[in-house]
Structure formats: structure tokens, C-alpha cells
Amino acid sequence: MKQRPQLAYTLGGQLYLEIHHDSADERDLGKVKKNSKNEKEWRDLSGFSVFYSRENPFPQESLHLATLIGEEMVGSGFHPNGYYGRTDSHVRREVVDKAHGVYQERFFVLRNGLMPAVIVECGVIANPFEESHLKDPQTKLKIAESIDRAVSRYVSQK
């Protein structure tokens, strides 16, 4: 993990983008698992998140890219994950743009990047209902197209 930002720079990258599937703290998952009967009950532990770090050498550019990705994801019908912004969450993050799922975080690859950097958590794989959506090829395509449009917008604005 510590080599990723340097490798991206060495290979001539202009942006650093990691794409993941999210999870949740076991204590928070346990609360939902006890009483979960349907997808609606998992709503608080679902959706995408986009992270950037203000400690990155390019914080404004990173935030701009994160916001564009959030806008495109929402525009494609995905909803932001509110889990990290909840006051009762065991894993709180600093909410920057709730409507577009953007959070500020000190992840190593974000703050040690040598270029604008973001991490996209496409959904919560620990949520059994969302996991099935994330496995769907059409969902994967919509996510990829959303991120592609955001990166294209970012590059065209530079």
C-alpha cells in the first residue's frame, strides 16, 4: 500500500484513483444483522462514498475530483452512504459534501499522493442486499461509466 502513490507517479499518472467496495464496523453490522429482514433496514449501511485528504499536496484538486465523482454517481441513480456521518457510527469520518457522499480522511494513499487523489467506495459489500447489486454486470458498468464521466469532466476543466 505504501508504494502505490509513488508507483502511480513513477508511471506518469496524473490522478490517483482507487476503487473499492466498503464494509462497516462489526459492531454496527451486528446491530443491523440482528433485526434485518429486508433491504430497507440496511439503508444506513449502503451506498457509495468518495474520500479525499486535505493533507494531499493537491487538496483542492482532489476535492474537486471527489465532488465530480459524487455528482456522477448520484446522477446515475446511486445514493451516497451516510454511515460515516452518523453520530452513532463507530467509524465516523468528516463529512464534506453529504449530498454527493464526499468525506475527508487521512488515508495513507491520499495524503501521501504526489498528484490529486481519491478513493471511491462503490457500495457496502457487507450489506447482503447491496452485495447482490454490486455483483450485477449492469451495476458495475454504471459505476465505471460514472467514474469515467467524472474523470473526463475533471480533465477537460484543467
Question: What single-letter amino acid sits at 50?
Answer: V
Question: Mean pLDDT for the chain?
Answer: 90
- Within 8 A by CB and 6+ apart from 18, the residues are 4, 109, 118, 119, 120
Mean pLDDT within 52-68 = 97
Report the pLDDT value the prediction gives residue 96, as an integer from 0 to 100.
95
Please state whether 101 falls in left (phi above 0), alpha (psi between -120 and 50) or beta.
left
pLDDT in tens, 100-148: 999 999 999 999 989 999 999 999 888 888 888 999 999 999 999 999 9
**DSSP alpha helices (H): ranges in 15-58?**
26-35
pTM, two decimals, is 0.90
* CB-CB contact of 69 with 6 (8 Å): no
| CATH number of the domain enclosing 133 | 3.40.630.40
Domain span at residue 12?
4-157
| Cα three-residue angle 12-112-123, rounded to 5 degrees | 90
The total domain count for the chain is 1
- In the chain, at which residue ranges do the beta strands (DSSP E only) sit? 16-22, 49-52, 94-97, 102-104, 117-124
The pLDDT of residue 61 is above 90: yes
The pLDDT of residue 24 is above 90: no
